[in-house]
Amino acid sequence: MTRRNLILSSAALAGAFIAPSARAAFTEGTKLPDLSTFGLSGTLPKTEGKVIYLDFWASWCAPCKASFPILNQWHEQMNVHGFSVIGISVDESEEDMTRFLKKNRVAFPVARDAAHKLVATANVSTMPTSFIIDRKGIIRHVHSGFHKKDEPVLFAQINQLMAQR
């Protein structure tokens, strides 16, 4: 079993042991749970009142690598207007994550979910998977995978939420 399949399988298995109400927490229309309760390594920014693009990724994920320049550009352009990208690495190895980030520098905050508690609760089975959250903390859009053709759709969804107060 590859490391990728092992990580995704362990996240799915861990999700089976989480209360059903916790598993349902990452669906469209529900409130984003407090990310600080999942034992992530790294510093998470304040999310209150911001539109958030929460991106689960891994160092071995080619589509993740392709998405990073776009996510970084969005973060840099719109951060002052109340938008933030937050990257959540599912890499078990901090070294793998660090090596990836040295090659793919980003301005947005990144935390690591080495224990896969958050990824299991979010029920993430594809890398990358992203959640677009409105200013009230409600998950509005869920996306699995990333292709260049997704960029305009994602950007439109973000801008629609940015326009709402």
Order of strands across the sheet that contains 51-57: 110-112, 83-89, 51-57, 129-133, 139-144
Three-state SS for 36? helix
Residue-wise pLDDT tens digits, 90-103 = 999 999 999 999 99
- Record: fold of 3-163: Glutaredoxin (3.40.30)
* DSSP secondary structure, 130-165, as one string: EEEE-TTSBEEEEEES--GGGHHHHHHHHHHHHH--
Residue-wise pLDDT tens digits, 61-76 = 999 999 999 999 999 9
H or E segment to which residue 33 belongs: none
Prediction pTM value: 0.85
pLDDT tens for the chain, 165 residues: list them: 555 544 444 444 444 444 333 444 589 999 999 999 999 999 899 999 999 999 999 999 999 999 999 999 999 999 999 999 999 999 999 999 999 999 999 999 999 999 999 999 999 999 999 999 999 999 999 999 999 999 999 999 999 999 997
